[in-house]
Amino acid sequence: MPYKCNKCKKQWMHKIGKCIFCDGELHEIIPENLEVMHCIEVNIPSKQHPEVPYYVLQVKDKSGNIYFRKSKTQKKPGEKWA
């Protein structure tokens, strides 16, 4: 993700098949050059993430799209995320 329409260039974070506005094909964009904006340490275990601490990063790609990413190590704002 994300998925971008070849014709009208609208974008989705969810896989939805074809563009709902122009019926164009959607192609998946592989996020590149992710940069860390925030890094929050989590010490609250859940069924999906029983091992704590872990870190939730807010990262931004070169197009300005924002994602959350789980990390086992702490990162600083401005650091690259592969």
Partner 1 sequence: MYICGVGRTKFGKLELELPEIMTEAVTKALIDAKLRLKDIDAIFISNNLAGLNQGQLHLNSLLATILKIDIPIFRLESTCASGGATFYNSLFSLSKFKNILVLGVEKMTGLASDLLSTNIGTTSDLNLDQEQGFIFPVGAAMIIERYEKRFGNVMDDLALISLKNHENGNLNEYAHFYGKEVTLEKIKGSRTIVGKLRLYDCSPVSDGAVALVVSKQKRDRRSIKIQACEMATGPISLSLNPRTSMPAVKTACKRALSSAGMKILDMDLIEIHDGYTIIELITMEDLGLCKPGQAGKLIREGKTKLNGKIPINTDGGLKANGHPIGATGLAQIYEIVTQLRGEAGKRQVNAKTGLAHNIGGMVGSCVVSIFKRD
Query: Quick one: which of 18, 21, 38, 66 contacts Zn ion (CB under 5 A)?
Result: 21
Residue 70, by phi and psi: left (phi above 0), alpha (psi -120 to 50) or beta? beta
Q: Which of residues 33-72 bind partner 1 (CB under 8 A)?
A: 37-38, 40-50, 54, 56, 58, 66-70
Judged by CB under 5 A, which stretch of 13-21, 35-43, 45-53, 61-69 contacts Zn ion?
Answer: 13-21
Phi, psi of 27 (to 5 degrees): -120, 145
Binding of partner 1 at residue 10 (CB under 8 A)? no
